[in-house]
Amino acid sequence: MQTSFLVTKAIDQSCFMDIQENNEMIQNRTICYDQATQIQQAPPIQIDELQDEDNQGSSESTKSNENEEQISPYFISTSPTTLNQNKMRLQPFLSSASRDRLILLFKKENYIKFSSLYESSTNLTLKAFNKDMNQYVVLNIFKGMKDDYLQVKEEHEKVKRIYNNQYLLYVYKIVYYEELFVYVIVSEVYESSLQDELYQIQQQKFQYTPNKAYTLLSQLYFGIAELHTNNIVHKNINPLNILKINDGLYKIGGFGTWRNITKQTLQSFTNQINMKFLSPEFLEKLQNPAIELTSKSDVYSLSAIFLDILLEIKQAEPVNQTPKSNITKQKQNYNPQQEQYISYFKKHLLCFNYKKRIYSYELINLIHQFVKPQENCLKETLKHIGKVLSTPQIDYTQNIQYLMNYKLAISDFRINLMKIYQQKLLPWLGIAQVTAESGYLNEEYGLFKKSLERYQEAIEIYKQIKAGSSDEMIDLLRNIAQVYQKLGDYEKYLEFSMKSLEMAEDLYKNANHIQIICSLHYVSWSYYFLKQGQKALEYAEKALHLRQKIKEIHTASNIQTRSQQFQNMAYTLETVGAANQLVGKRDEALRYFQQSLEELKKSAKGNRPDLAASLNNIGVIYEEMEDYQNSLAYFTQASEMYTKIYGNYHPLLLISKKGILRSLQKLNRIEEINQLEKEILNIESHVQKNNN
């Protein structure tokens, strides 16, 4: 019987979508930011003393006129405001009595020093100081029933659990006030919104440099990628929900605000301004609530924002410059890349059919394609990429397939930056390290051909900066050997394993060193796959002898190091077990494999590839002993663990699934066999596609 063990180890920027009452197809309509100047502006309202604005007298009206140039038109005051465009009278968010009652409730909870940041017909945003927290916070107030509040709270709780949430607005709590039918989202303080910045650009008071634009776009990218990694769809990304915390830091907020958008609320001027950022399928959902929104809806909204920003880079005329005629301005501000931007966005990002849009994890390459920042701006991006790649999978409810593609995308992006900027970003040693890390990541996700390329690239870099033997070269040789093992090329597996052993012995002169032990493992496994049992056992026992001699586990004091030592001993025991199995000593093999499994369980909790491999290998032993109930149980445990780690399509999952199939065939469970054979064919198709 042939069984084997697993080795442990679109639209123009000025267009927006509208819903027609007669249910016709969604059509494009034009709206420009300069329409915002048609709003009768008013300054932020200081409401600490709860004064009624309508009774403040003419002096306040004069102040409003004096400050008109400095107030964003997106601030809508409590005073009824007339839009010249459609003569629509805006209603205040709350009545005076309700406002007074709400402020009183806030004061009972130790909020003081209130000021109004923003108000529309659908929500009110206040800034206040909380004495218990000893800091300022923002109070976002929305109307809604208790069910609405509970749904919004659930969304925010999901966001709060995200590990890498550096670019997502932090929410302290959400409170419901039943007597007023409002809920309040208490968040960290922010200076302004992206909507304010875009208005400043329209007023020629601000412009995006490539560095500023790149910083903003990359932070939005990382924020949305974390949401989609955790199966969260924002649904209402627009400039009002992109919040500037301080100079250089932007965060995505407004989670749950999509629930406040209806056909009626879309009539408000603020929603009309932001309407072009709503995806076509969101607008369809207003007609048919059964429509489910996917991450591609966020791609549409975020891409509309990206396009607005790209079209404004260095387009605004500097402040205080002598005004020129419109024709002169157009000539000066003309950017030939604009047509390229618009064409690309229409085809890949703002297309009506969401299935044709790219995934959000692919946007990182788009940002760098269209924006060329200076090197110092890229270092923060590299730092965050390193943080994401080094973070283990925290929550197994995450979108595993998305997380895999996200990590691969940012890893490839980092490699491309290295090739473009070379030592301007990292020294050669750092470049070699990130190249090797990319190889390991591709290997982990089953992209073996690409991982070999990365490992070979890293070796060439190390050869240029380090002469002779080194730990880095030994590790890379073993990594290459392991990829060849997974590809089934066992002669190459042995060749590179031997090279790593020779280099380790040369570097450490036959001392009892971990590098020598690890390379002995690889040589033993090479002979195992080449069906040379005695050779495999010889190298495995030599590794075990060295491992026991240095007594790593008993002398380790650091907890993290101790955990690693348990894993190392488990790997050695497993290697000896496999060699014993090959020479026909199955009882010995099972004993070593069970000891290995126990060592792995001591090292760390949770779902891990090495633990899954150990379970699979015990399944193989039981299968050879013709104990098919036990083999089925262990193969099933391994399969379930691999699925939680890698998703539904991975080469290692394929191995454990085939073990389950063999066990089911021996147990003659026909119905389960037929279903599993279809699953295996599907996995094989995906694996083959990824490695072509």
Domains and CATH numbers, the chain: 92-188 (3.30.200.20), 191-315+340-372 (1.10.510.10), 469-553+561-605 (1.25.40.10), 611-691 (1.25.40.10)
pLDDT at 551: 60
Q: SS3 letters for 38-101?
A: HCCCCCCCCCCCCCCHHHCCHHHHHHHHHCHHHCCCCCCCCCCCECCCCCCECCCCCCHHHHHH
**C-alpha span between 483 and 49 (Å, rounded):** 71
Burial class (CB in 10 A: 0-12, 13-18, 19+), 247: exposed
**C-alpha span between 253 and 237 (Å, rounded):** 8
Using alpha carbons, list the distances in angstroms from residue 415 to 223, 421, 425, 434, 443: 21, 10, 11, 7, 16
pLDDT at 4: 54
**C-alpha span between 106 and 401 (Å, rounded):** 44
Question: By the 8 A CB rule, do 349 and 299 touch?
Answer: yes
Angle between helices 586-603 and 609-624 (to 10 degrees): 160
pLDDT at 34: 34
pLDDT < 50 stretches in the chain: 1-2, 9-90, 315-334, 553-554, 556-557, 559-560
Using alpha carbons, list the distances in angstroms from residue 337 to 204, 206, 213, 315: 21, 21, 15, 12
Predicted TM-score (pTM) of the model is 0.73
Per the structure block, which two tokens stand in for 138? 């923002």
Q: SS3 letters for 409-475?
A: HHHHHHHHHHHHHHHHCCCHHHHHHHHHHHHHHHHHCCCHHHHHHHHHHHHHHHHHHCCCCCHHHHH
